[in-house]
Structure 1
Amino acid sequence: MNHFKPEFFFLLLMCFWNWGSFAQTEKPNIIYIISDDQGWTDFGFMGHPQIETPNIDRLANESLTFTRGYVTAPLCSPSLATLITGLYPQQTKITGNDPLFESKERRYSPEWQLERSKEYQAFLNEFQKRPTIPQILGKAGYLSLQTGKWWGKSWKDAGFTHGMTHGDAATGGRHGDAGLAIGREGMKPIYDFIQLAEKEKKPFMVWYAPFLPHSPHTPPDSLLQKYLPKAPTEAIAKYWAMCEWLDLTVGELMDYLKQESLDENTLLIFVTDNGWIQNPDKTNQFMPGSKQDPADFGIRTPIMFHWPGKIAPKMDTIHLVSSVDIPTTTLAVAGLEGATPMEGIDVLDQAALDSRKSIYAVDFSHDMVDVFAPEKSLEHRVIISGDWKLILAEPEQGESVQLYQIIKDPFEKTNVAKQNPDVVKKLTQELEDWWERTNQ
């Protein structure tokens, strides 16, 4: 006898339909891995002949990796502000690391730190008018953890649900404080947080911005001994060892995710905050043309998006991608497109990627002059368009216009501005239009 009932079939069909809908809307975990003060060439997969980064190389090869990536500023605080808001420094109002103010106290002393904190408050107040990624994700049910480098006082001030950085100026809270232990002293706070999120059955975001390879260059002795025979000086050996130390922590994190069966539903994003060229004679010192400079060694970085089974691995050496795209792409992946106005594109949208013509960066002074007038701190503006890179210096910098054929001349050896006046004119106008639109 046939006992088939149409209503049973209908219920079964609806179960499958609902399961499919859940699978499509299940939100991925998100982890930002942010290297601190590392040159764009200082990875194995980017061709460095000595620095070994096998874990980051593996991540790059398993990711959608853009080798022509750039940050919006060659300095950590404004760069990180972009990564958490999807806006340019002149829009976040965080254009430098510290406010400019007169003080009789020794710079970075506890007394100076307290004065800085008071002067910084106006910048923080303006910054906090812009929604942050953890705030937006929090409304969608995410838990979020801040670790490592952070300038905007505590993790709470940035909208994280959990964190390490307290931001108390009285006890050294300037750019990460307690959070700077992550990586250098192990990864346990991240693992504990992930276990908490798993227990609460909530998707999570982790901001992993270790003080690596950032100075002080104090690598484990085993790594230092490895590089001393290979490097021309001890200072360079220490920096190279720091780069591998970062790599080891990335490997630990990736292994943990796989061990906990979280790798397939976790989006990993890798970027550096700004560049670095190690001074060969002075440990912990960088060379001109890198950090705090609009040269590629100040702003270029590989940018990776890793999500097994969802994002096809590809080494993209053609398309221009900016750190301002990372928040936009993050929200798109989480199904939160358009949650707040942002400047970047979703780099997983091939049409948007193909139609992009230019990206921009901006270089301000280390100390911020006026929260309501970012132009008072401005030093350089940059546009990269196809094969061209134009750097416009502010008049007080006393520099001529710089134009480079950046693909043929990646180390910016030959300024071809005089030979290409039409290109300079066209890109200058585009840069001026962008600046006028974003600095309002």
Structure 2
Amino acid sequence: MKNIVSKRFSGLFAPLLAVACLSSAPVQAQNDAAADNASKQRPPNIVLLLSDDQAWTDYGFMGHAEIRTPNLDQLAKEGATFRRGYVPTALCRPSLATLLTGHYASTHGVTGNDPSPKYANPNSEKYSQQRAQLISYLDRFDTLPELLAERGYLSHQSGKLWEGSYQNAGFTHGMTKGFPNPGGRHGDVGLKIGRDGVQPVKEFVEMAVAEDKPFFLWYAPFLPHTPHNPPERILAKYRNDNTPESVAKYYAMCEWFDETCGDVLKLIDDSGQRDNTLVVSLTDNGWIQDPTSSKYALRSKQSPNEGGIRTPIIYRWPNSIRPADRPELATSLDIVPTMLAAAGARIPADLPGLNLIPNLSSGDAIDRKQIFGESFAHDIADIEDPEASMLFRWVIEDNWKLLLTYDGEVNRYASTHPRTERGPQLFDLSKDPTEQRNLASQHPDVVTRLANDIQSWYPVKTRKTITIAP
């Protein structure tokens, strides 16, 4: 077992768990009961379908008028679908590290994609040492595949992975060689999955089934991520005089991702494992396509706005999870404890997310009042101090959403998430889902209460909120 060391100061997890409506004794009893029940039967296979850079609106089942996603539409019908799902950090590397560890970025320490080139030349030994140090932060946690291995699982990594090789992340099988191997930044060979078919996944599934072993699939293809170069057979469906070429290409990439998810799900069905497989689907962070270029628009990727952090989250497990359109708030922090509970695996006591299996199987409402998140710069100013790059913290309670802005260092990519509004931003998501009207001045009592809740969740020590114009 790895030695788990939090980046935050002693005592953080107590208020965090209290605010999230978790109580250690009931949670432990629930975990023990789930583990005892699951230990008496063969654990389910687990499949993670992870989209890369896709808006929460950009699926057929979410109501998009043009994008075709028939495979995920069907999955949403067959599973428990949280349309109000969120990731706590709207950037791929910290978001993926959360799915590996079950922790917030400010806890696991991987707050951005790269160390800042401002303080070390990317070709220097110092920069390489910083990259290695970031990857080493994973050693402080028992990762999801490691915990599943304790239950006899084989696991396969394909697609995006930043934290070194697949072995370093705890997978028994995989594709990514990782840093310090050449090209080992965010997936290397693994990025071929989906775009070049799913043969490595097929071979792994066949092997695991032949060995009668439960398996875990990390399917995180480089889709619909740029480069937006979809097959012409798909792009032709979206080309028309009213749609900019960059938008048509992005739409086609979303369908391409869905098509490859269908290929993976068919592998599960063809292997006879459908009924004993938990499938979880989400995206790592949002994306709003710029109609004038191949880039993303403001208020999407890297942003704490809905276009950056919101994602539908689907759980499908035939005969074990009730298909339903779930109205509650959900977060990707729930995925690790939920998967571990389904497997009857050990669940670390300090995870901030919820084990949703009891609620998903019974249909009972989730007892949670709020969810929280945080935003950091793409480039990490100080790899030993997450607050040095802190830009935003946020909370959602029912339909209220509060954003607090901080003076962390932005470095590159400042134009992609400008801190244009300097004070607190309060939105009513039921009436204003695109966050156009800041209601902070009209509801100062709500701002004060929710800001105090944010501070109780994660007591910031060094950064200041931005409240006045520069």
The answer to whether structure 1 residue 409 and structure 2 residue 432 are counterparts is yes
* Match runs of 1:276-355 below 5 Å: 276-283=287-294, 285-316=295-326, 318-350=327-359, 354-355=366-367
- Counterpart residue identity of residue 42, structure 1: D
Cα distance in structure 2, aligned partners of 1:373 and 1:251:
41
Q: 1:336 to 1:421 in 2, by over 3 A?
A: same
The answer to whether structure 1 residue 90 and structure 2 residue 113 are counterparts is no
- Matched residue of 1:38: which SS? coil
Normalised by the length of structure 1, the TM-score is 0.89
Cα distance in structure 1, aligned partners of 2:346 and 2:154:
19
- Matched residue of 1:226: which SS? coil
- Matched residue of 2:366: which SS? helix
CA shift, 1:231, in A, is 5.2
CA shift, 1:207, in A, is 0.2
Q: 1:24 to 1:72 in 2, by over 3 A?
A: same
Cα distance in structure 1, aligned partners of 2:434 and 2:189:
37
My pick for the range that moved more, 210-219 or 117-126, is: 117-126
- Counterpart residue identity of residue 176, structure 2: T
- Counterpart residue identity of residue 156, structure 2: L
The answer to whether structure 1 residue 272 and structure 2 residue 283 are counterparts is yes
| Structure having the higher Rg | 1
Q: 1:169 to 1:243 in 2, by over 3 A?
A: same
Cα distance in structure 1, aligned partners of 2:147 and 2:39:
22
Cα distance in structure 1, aligned partners of 2:401 and 2:430:
9
- Counterpart residue identity of residue 51, structure 2: S
CA contact (8 A) 2:206 2:271 kept: no
* Match runs of 1:32-431 below 5 Å: 32-102=48-118, 111=123, 116-229=127-240, 232-283=243-294, 285-316=295-326, 318-350=327-359, 354-395=366-407, 397=419, 399-431=422-454
CA shift, 1:403, in A, is 0.4
- Counterpart residue identity of residue 433, structure 2: P
Q: Which runs of 5 or more structure 2 residues have no equivalent in the other structure?
A: 1-36, 409-418, 463-470
Percent sequence identity is 43
- Matched residue of 1:349: which SS? helix
CA shift, 1:254, in A, is 1.4
- Counterpart residue identity of residue 349, structure 1: P
CA contact (8 A) 1:143 1:161 kept: yes
Cα distance in structure 1, aligned partners of 2:385 and 2:435:
31
Cα distance in structure 2, aligned partners of 1:50 and 1:403:
31
My pick for the range that moved more, 123-132 or 379-388, is: 123-132
Task: List structure 1 runs of 4+ shifted beyond 6 angstroms.
Answer: none
CA contact (8 A) 1:88 1:438 kept: no
- Matched residue of 2:236: which SS? helix
Cα distance in structure 2, aligned partners of 1:117 and 1:136:
29
Cα distance in structure 2, aligned partners of 1:292 and 1:378:
12
Name the residue aligned to 2:30: none
Normalised by the length of structure 2, the TM-score is 0.84
Structure 1 vs Structure 2 CA RMSD: 2.1
CA shift, 1:51, in A, is 0.4
Cα distance in structure 2, aligned partners of 1:139 and 1:353:
31
CA shift, 1:170, in A, is 4.9
Q: 1:306 to 1:126 in 2, by over 3 A?
A: same
- Counterpart residue identity of residue 332, structure 1: A
Cα distance in structure 1, aligned partners of 2:407 and 2:163:
31
Cα distance in structure 1, aligned partners of 2:444 and 2:256:
45
Aligned residues: 412
Cα distance in structure 1, aligned partners of 2:100 and 2:318:
24
